[in-house]
Amino acid sequence: MNNKGTSLLWFRADLRTVDNTALRHACLSGRPVIALYVATPMQWHQHDVAPIQVDFIQRRLLVLQQQLRELNIPLLIFEVGDYRSIPELITKLVQQYQISHVFCNKQDEWNEQQRDHDVGLALANMQVEFSIVDDSCAIAPGRVKTKQGEPFKVFTPFRREWLNVYHSLLPEAQPAPQAVVVHPVTASLLDQDDRSTPFTYPKKDSVLWPVEEDAIRQRLEAFCSEKVQLYHQHRDFPAIDGTSCLSPYLAIGALSARQCISMLRSSFPLCLEPSDQGAFCWLNELIWREFYRHLTEAYGKLSRNQPFHAWTSKIRWRDADEDLKCWQQGQTGFPIVDAAMRQLLATGWMHNRLRMIVASFLTKDLLIDWRAGEQWFMSHLIDGDFASNNGGWQWAASTGTDAQPYFRVFNPTLQGQRFDPTGDFIRIWIKELKDVPNKYIHTPHLWDGANTLDYPRPIVDHKLARLLAIESFKQAKALAQENI
């Protein structure tokens, strides 16, 4: 190994020092280390990154900067327009700080892979080593294959093989590395104490989500010790605080999947077995996250605005701007849908069961293109993550692999009655309905006092909409088969 020069660690969606593979490799290089984060507001705009997530990232970077300082690693934060400007920036840093090796963790999305390809070419021309390592999943994309060596397209067999691979590898979360040697260059940067993060992107306050390391760890520990056992019973009820609420930390890489699973295994040694219902149920959700990331790596079209099943591109989605706006603002007349959408607008987060309900409503009841919902979610979610968001939307819209069959359409009223039976969650977010009797909380338009409510009547007849959606999917499938 060439120990001359400086190592550059390029942070992206991995904002942590604990269990960070690229950081560990950089610290083992025997060289001084400089860390880098590049804000790309134009790219964020193209990718519909939520202002609340950008604020979350900015706050987390201040914590990360201090953590790295304790490892003798300065964190430089730059802002450029988009990914196309990054090769030039890194080239300048290589020259300025005598960098001989660049480390980073892999990202699987199409634009990110193209960016890394361009950076790799620029570094190769300068004879600088470039190491990209897998870190976003507990089991790296490409490691879980069918017997024919192909990526899995169905979740259940993927999970079965994922568990087999996990048992054979038993990957454990690694502690933060030891402090690295100090060099005059890094010492000078550390002395500057520059804690600024010059983001020009719009931001929305994310203060409800702590970013300090101890707070994140305590949230994970508390969930595993206090809630996991009943997770399988409570996770679908939005009025119950029964989910982990760790998705924002996973999305920006403040927490790793390995950390989550390691903590789960330490609390519930049998969590890899279905018999441990609560723990295995949460593990199952983490494996879904891995499944969607593996799909993103294997099928580049998913990152290019395309459905997994080509025939679904024949669906004639409705051009219904007013209905879309009603959905976005929580004014559909279906209380569980509206409460969920208002929760998203107010907090930047939405309960997972509700994400399925509102996605089904948009794509099946309103027959509006799933990509409009995918975009709205990404532009508002603090836990916006391309693979999970795209996978969830394509599942709900019946356009994705192993998706909800198109003829199964959620009834939003029945979903509300089942998962928020007394309307506790609805009343939190729809103040107009606070005095509606429980009997009518899911159908307030049928209540005798409906005329006194400042709340819309249902904008669609679910029974008719369901039949229209099924027929539209049938026609699309028939049309695609005719063109074969």
If you count DSSP H runs as helices and E runs as strands, how many of each does the chain have, helices first? 20, 5
For residue 241, name the pLDDT band (cuts at 50, 70, 90): very high
Task: Select 6-135+179-192's CATH number: 3.40.50.2300, 3.40.47.10, 3.40.50.620, 1.10.150.120.
Answer: 3.40.50.620
Which of 79, 129, 161, 285 is flagged as catalytic? 285
**Whether 370 is catalytic:** yes
Closest CA to 112 of 33, 10, 257: 10
**Whether 209 is catalytic:** no
Specify the pLDDT at position 195: 59
User: Does 383 show up as a binding residue in the annotation?
Assistant: yes
**Whether 221 is catalytic:** no
User: Does 44 show up as a binding residue in the annotation?
Assistant: no
The DSSP letter of residue 102 is E
**Whether 429 is catalytic:** no
Mean pLDDT of 111-123: 98
Mean pLDDT of 269-283: 92
- Ranges of CATH 1.10.579.10 domains, the chain: 310-482
User: CB under 8 Å to 122, separation ≥6 — which residues?
Assistant: 87, 88, 90, 91
- Residue 484 confidence (pLDDT) above 90: no
Amino acid identity, position 263: M
Which of 162, 209, 349, 370 is flagged as catalytic? 370
User: Does 292 show up as a binding residue in the annotation?
Assistant: yes
- Residue 2 confidence (pLDDT) above 70: no
Which of 212, 317, 432, 447 is flagged as catalytic? 317
The alpha-helical segments, DSSP class H, found in 135-229 are: 155-169, 184-192, 213-222
Condensed to tens digits (0 to 9), the pLDDT of residues 383-417 reads 999 999 999 999 999 999 987 889 999 999 999 99
**Whether 352 is catalytic:** yes
User: Does 76 show up as a binding residue in the annotation?
Assistant: no
Least confident of 185-189, 325-329, 368-372, 422-426: 185-189
Condensed to tens digits (0 to 9), the pLDDT of residues 166-210 reads 999 999 999 999 999 999 989 999 988 665 667 899 999 999 999
User: Does 422 show up as a binding residue in the annotation?
Assistant: no
Mean pLDDT of 113-134: 98
The alpha carbon of residue 173 and the mean position of all alpha carbons in its chain are separated, in whole angstroms, by: 20
**Whether 110 is catalytic:** no
Mean pLDDT of 443-464: 97
CATH code of 310-482, in short, is 1.10.579.10
Q: How far is residue 391's CA from residue 146's CA, in Å, rounded to a whole number?
A: 20
Which of 393, 395, 411, 429 is flagged as catalytic? 393
For residue 1, name the pLDDT band (cuts at 50, 70, 90): very low
CA angle 65, 70, 76 (to 5 degrees): 30
Specify the pLDDT at position 470: 97
User: Does 247 show up as a binding residue in the annotation?
Assistant: yes
Least confident of 59-68, 219-228, 241-250, 272-281: 272-281
Condensed to tens digits (0 to 9), the pLDDT of residues 408-435 reads 999 999 999 999 999 999 999 999 999 9
- Ranges of CATH 3.40.50.620 domains, the chain: 6-135+179-192
For residue 84, name the pLDDT band (cuts at 50, 70, 90): very high
pLDDT > 90: what percent of the chain?
Answer: 93
Q: How far is residue 225's CA from residue 231's CA, in Å, rounded to a whole number?
A: 11
Closest CA to 317 of 383, 247, 369, 380: 369
Specify the pLDDT at position 483: 72
- Residue 124 confidence (pLDDT) above 60: yes
DSSP β-ladder status, 33-39 and 99-105: unpaired
User: Does 452 show up as a binding residue in the annotation?
Assistant: no
The alpha carbon of residue 320 and the mean position of all alpha carbons in its chain are separated, in whole angstroms, by: 28
Mean pLDDT of 291-300: 97
